[in-house]
Chain A
Amino acid sequence: MLKKTVLNAAHRVLNARMVDFGGWDMPVNYGSQIEEHHAVRNDSGMFDVSHMCPVDVVGADCRPFLSRLLANDVAKLTVSGKALYSAMLNEAGGVIDDLIIYFLTDTRFRIVVNAGTADKDLAWMQAKAAEWKMDVTLTQRRDGDNALGIIAVQGPNARAKVWSVLPQAKAATEGLKAFFAAEVEQYFIASTGYTGEDGYEIMLPAGEAENLWNRLKDAGVAPCGLGARDTLRLEAGMNLYGQDMDETVSPLDAGLAWTVAMKDERDFVGRAALAANGQQKQFLGLILLDKGVLRGHQKVVTAQGDGEITSGSFSPTLQQSIALARLPMGVAIGDEVQVDIRGKLLKAKVTKPVFARNGKAVI
C-alpha cells in the first residue's frame, strides 16, 4: 500500500501521472515535464514535497547534540531563522542522509530529512541522543495530528506569487536572503529549495495544504512533478540521496566537502573515518558531445581509469544530456572522456558539477 501525501487528491484532479516514489504515490508530471522545468527556470512552479519529513529538535542540549550528530557545524548558525545544509554520517564516514537544519532558538531547531530515509534517520538520531545522554526531544512532523504539509514554490516570480496569496507573509519574508526561514502565523516559510532558483519552501498544517496549493495554482504557479524537480536539481548540481551518495559513499567523494566542517577540533560522527580515508574520487559534471542520454550507473572511461555516472538526464536548459559523475583523481575539467552507453563509447566533456541556475546556463 503506497503512502499518500495530503495533496494526493489535488494531484489526481490535475490528471498527474502518479508513480511509486520510494513507497509514496507521487506525481512525476502533470503534462510535459520539460514545460514544467522551464516554468520554474523562467516564471514559477510548485512541488508537493510533503513526503519529506520535518523533525523538531527541542531541549537544552540542542547545540551539543547537533554539533556531534552532523558533519556540518551548527556553530555557523548564529542568527535565528538561518538554515544549514549538512550530511549526517555513520561511523565509517558514509552518508546516512543529507538534510537541512533550521535554527530557531538555542532550544529549538527543525531538521528536514528525505522521505525514504526518514524512519532510519529518526531511529539513528534517537539512539545517538540516548547514547550521549542529551536533553533533547525529537518529534517527527510528517504523520499524525501535528503533521505538516510542504509546498516548494520556486522560480524568479515565486516570491511575488506567494505574497499575492499570503500577503501577511510579505513583511517577514521579503528580506530573507537565501537559506533562511521565518515563522508567520501557522506558516514556516524558508528561502530554500532544490532547483537552483529563488523561491520558498512553505510548511503548514497538513489540513491547510490543499487550500494553499489551489490558491497558488489560481495565482498562476505551475504544478510541477518530481520529474522536473529531478532535472532542475541536476542542472543546479545538487546531490540526490540514494543516487549521488549513500551509506557506502564518503561526502568527500560526492562533492560535499564544502559541507563538512573539519577546520577545528569538533568531534562528530564519521570524522575519524573521513580523516583516515581522505578523498578518493572527484565529483564532477559531464556534458555529452555525441547524441544520446547519460544515465546513472553508466561507465566513464578516462585516461586515469574508469569512473561512474551517479545521475544523468537531458538538460532542458542546455538542450544536451548532462550528468554528475564520480571520476578518478587526476581527471580535469575540460578533459574529453568516453561514456559507455549500451556498449558504444560516446564522447563527453568534463565540467564543473553545475550547469544552470537562476534561469541561465552557467556552463
Chain B
Amino acid sequence: MSNVPANLKYAASHEWMLLNADGTVTVGITDHAQEALGDLVFVELPEAGAHYDAEKEIAVVESVKAAADVYAPIAGTVTEVNQAAADAPESVNADAYTAWLFKMTPDNVADLDKMLDAAAYQAVADAA
C-alpha cells in the first residue's frame, strides 16, 4: 500500500503538489508512481523560467523498466528545479515526497482547489 500524505494535493497523472507560503507550488511524483516504475535511473527536469500549460509534459522520469512523462498538474511558470533529484534519481524511490522535482508559480492559485485530495488520489492509485 503506497503512502498518500493528507496535506498534499494530487493529479490523476500521479504528481503531488504542495502550496508554499511564498505562493509557489512544489511538485513531485507520488509514492505510488515511484513504486510502479521501480528503480529510477534518470530524471530530466524543466528549465527554470519556462511556462507550461496544465497537463503538458514538463519532466521525464526513467526507471530501469520504462520512461514516464511527468505533467504540469496546473498552468504556471517554473521557478526552481531540484538538481539533487536529477543527480540521484534513486532518492525519488527512497522518499518521493522529499525528493521534489520542481517548483512553479501558478497562473491561478485557485487551480489547486480543483486537484484531488488524498482520499480521491488513493482511490485512483488503488484502481491503477
Closest-by-CB residue of B relative to A34 is B39
- Counting chain B CB atoms within 10 Å of each CB, which of A17, A29, A293 scores highest? A293
**In contact, B60 and A342 (Cβ under 8 angstroms):** yes
**In contact, A314 and B42 (Cβ under 8 angstroms):** yes
A291–B87 CA distance with the chains assembled, in angstroms? 10
Interface string of B54-86 (1 = CB under 8 A from A): 000000101111010000000000000000000
Within the complex, what minimum Cβ distance (angstroms) separates B92 from chain A?
13
Within the complex, what minimum Cβ distance (angstroms) separates A288 from chain B?
10
| B41-60 contacts to A (CB < 8 Å) | 41-42, 44, 60
A59–B3 CA distance with the chains assembled, in angstroms? 59
Does residue B23 face the partner (Cβ distance < 8 Å to A)? no
Residues of A within 8 A of B64 (CB): 33-34, 227, 231, 313-314, 316
Residues of B within 8 A of A206 (CB): none
Closest-by-CB residue of B relative to A28 is B65
Interface string of A325-363 (1 = CB under 8 A from B): 000000000000000001000000000000000000000
Q: From A17, A291, A295, A321, give the contact of B38 (CB < 8 A).
A: A17
Interface size class on chain A is 10 to 19
**In contact, B42 and A33 (Cβ under 8 angstroms):** no
Residues of B within 8 A of A291 (CB): 42
| B7-50 contacts to A (CB < 8 Å) | 35-36, 38-39, 41-42, 44
A32–B38 CA distance with the chains assembled, in angstroms? 7
Residues of B within 8 A of A295 (CB): 67
Residues of A within 8 A of B35 (CB): 17
Interface string of A77-121 (1 = CB under 8 A from B): 000000000000000000000000000000000000000000000
Within the complex, what minimum Cβ distance (angstroms) separates A295 from chain B?
7
Residues of B within 8 A of A314 (CB): 41-42, 62, 64
Within the complex, what minimum Cβ distance (angstroms) separates B61 from chain A?
10
Interface string of B81-114 (1 = CB under 8 A from A): 0000000000001000000000000000000000
Does residue A242 face the partner (Cβ distance < 8 Å to B)? no
A313–B39 CA distance with the chains assembled, in angstroms? 12
Does residue A23 face the partner (Cβ distance < 8 Å to B)? no
Residues of B within 8 A of A316 (CB): 64
**In contact, A292 and B38 (Cβ under 8 angstroms):** no
A292–B44 CA distance with the chains assembled, in angstroms? 8
Residues of B within 8 A of A29 (CB): 38
Q: From A32, A231, A293, give the contact of B42 (CB < 8 A).
A: A293
**In contact, A28 and B38 (Cβ under 8 angstroms):** yes
Residues of B within 8 A of A231 (CB): 64
A64–B44 CA distance with the chains assembled, in angstroms? 56
25 contacts between A and B (CB under 8 A): A17-B35, A17-B36, A17-B38, A28-B38, A29-B38, A32-B39, A32-B93, A33-B63, A33-B64, A34-B39, A227-B64, A231-B64, A291-B42, A292-B42, A292-B62, A293-B42, A293-B67, A313-B64, A314-B41, A314-B62, A314-B64, A316-B64, A321-B41, A321-B42, A342-B60
Using CB atoms and an 8 Å cutoff, list the residues of chain A in contact with chain B. 17, 28-29, 32-34, 227, 231, 291-293, 295, 313-314, 316, 321, 342
